[in-house]
Amino acid sequence: MSESVKTQASVHESLMTVVCWDDKSEIRLSNYADMIVRNKQNQIAAIRFGGYPEMVRAMADCVAAGCTLNVRAGSRDIVLKSDKPNGYYRKVSHDGLYAEAILYLKDDETKSLSLTGDDGEKTTVNAKRNLYIFCEDSDKDTLFHELDRKLSVPLIPAFKDYFIAELKNRNILNVLKVWCRSGQFYAYHLEVTEDETEIAAVLEDGLKSGAIEIPGVKFGEQSDFENIESFTGYLNTFAAMIAGRIKSSFIPLFDPETEEVCDRLKTVDSYIAQNAGYHLYPAQLACSEALKRITDKDNIALIVAECGSGKTKIGAAALYAGQKKKHLTQSYVLPIFVRNGFVRLRKACRTAQPSSYVASVTPTKPMTFLKKVIKQSIALCQKNVPETDI
């Protein structure tokens, strides 16, 4: 279907009927779509449709694998194709007897082509990548934010108007055709090489012509930008400053380069060395100190790390270091199928927490029994009773 794209979004008050069929298998699927996006190759760039769960799942599989769809949009019949197997992100949701699916094209992976000339010499060429941007707002701020997120070349808001206009003028950024029931959906196609030389060229041309400028730098003024001829030179000159600003924007909970761990955590570390024969690693101590600082303010703290990194010992050390009362009850929940979980947990607590009492709870009525055990554990801690199983 040949159709010039004059406006990006066509509004349809009614849902669009989407049909997928296979004459050979004599299979026909039908659903209703409220949003469809196509690219210049008449390929499905994005689609959202709903219907009966089995129909929706089946059509989502067809689109993801590659198929042809016949769309009835108002009084027009539109034929679209999906010929990029495994090239779509997909999500299917359910609500009773109704299901909804949304699929949209993935960005191309970076790749290069090796070409052999007549003289036998091989040349590597960076292939262009297809990037897709989907927005619910039509303003330039939203589009510029998505461009900044997709591209690796550094951008600043002052470039926004020139940058977007020039990308369109050079056919690097193209508007995609959208059919949408609400009309509040916008899609764009971006074609760039792996090193994004065309993006850098747009900005370099703008700086040379004066269409854009670095804020705070006046024309003819002596500055660090005087000898910068490319964005590579810009990064080489200001890399340290950029890194410093990034570092200052994300203040860590604990900075081991400028701070020391608390005295109680040092006591725990000495206790571990005495009972286990080793000290905590600096990274483990830093994590324990950060956890302690979180629990001083909040009730919940999470440790996300690989298996075997010492999460249990780090957590036990942080809880001991942060406790403000003489006796503190700590509860660990283990899946019932972890048969040796208590043994490992008991060993970790014994070596990480001085004057600790460890008990294994195997209740038939978990919540009621747990309250009873907590009261008992406080009393046993006060009596310094050795660990046991309850």
pLDDT tens, 230-274? 777 777 777 888 777 777 777 788 888 889 999 989 988 898 888
Domain residue spans of the chain: 9-105, 221-250, 263-357
pLDDT bin (cut points 50, 70, 90) of residue 144 is: very high
pLDDT at 60: 93
pLDDT bin (cut points 50, 70, 90) of residue 17 is: very high
pLDDT at 19 over 60: yes
pLDDT at 328: 54
151-176 average pLDDT score: 91
pLDDT at 18 over 90: yes
73: part of which helix (H) or strand (E)?
Answer: strand 67-73
pLDDT at 194: 83
Residues in contact with 152: Cβ distance below 8 Å, sequence separation at least 6, in sequence order = 196
* CB crowding 142-166: b at 16 or more within 10 Å, else e: ebbbbbbebbebebeeebbebbbeb
Between 110 and 52, residue with greater pLDDT: 52
Lowest mean pLDDT among 44-53, 112-121, 207-216: 112-121
Instruction: Note the pTM of the prediction, 2 decimals.
Output: 0.54
pLDDT at 169: 94
Between 382 and 267, residue with greater pLDDT: 267
340-366 average pLDDT score: 62
Spatial distance between the Cα atoms of 299 and 380, rounded to a whole number of angstroms: 25
pLDDT at 51: 92
SS3 content of the chain, % helix, strand, coil (to 5): 35, 25, 40
pLDDT at 27: 79
pLDDT at 210 over 60: yes
Per residue, the 3-state secondary structure of 182-225, as one string, reads: CCCCEEEEEEECCCCHHHHHHHHHHHHHCCCCCCCCCCCCCCCC
Between 371 and 241, residue with greater pLDDT: 241
Q: Kindly report the average pLDDT of the chain as a whole number.
A: 79
pLDDT at 358: 61
* CB crowding 354-384: b at 16 or more within 10 Å, else e: eebbbebbeeeeeeeeeeebeeebeebbeee
Placement of tokens 């040349």 in the chain = 123
- pLDDT tens, residue by residue, 228-238: 777 777 777 77
Residues in contact with 247: Cβ distance below 8 Å, sequence separation at least 6, in sequence order = none
Give the residue from 301, 345, 303 showing the smallest Cα distance to 322: 301
- pLDDT tens, residue by residue, 271-301: 888 888 889 899 999 999 998 888 887 767 7
- pLDDT tens, residue by residue, 116-135: 666 667 666 677 889 999 98
pLDDT at 374: 63
pLDDT at 89: 92
CB 47 within 8 A of CB 36: yes
pLDDT bin (cut points 50, 70, 90) of residue 170 is: very high
pLDDT at 31: 93
89-116 average pLDDT score: 84
- pLDDT tens, residue by residue, 293-338: 888 877 677 888 888 888 888 888 888 888 765 555 555 555 555 5
pLDDT at 4: 34
- Counting beta carbons within 10 angstroms of the beta carbon of residue 317, is it exposed (0 to 12), middle (13 to 18) or buried (19 or more)? buried
- pLDDT tens, residue by residue, 49-88: 999 999 999 999 999 988 889 998 878 888 998 888 888 9
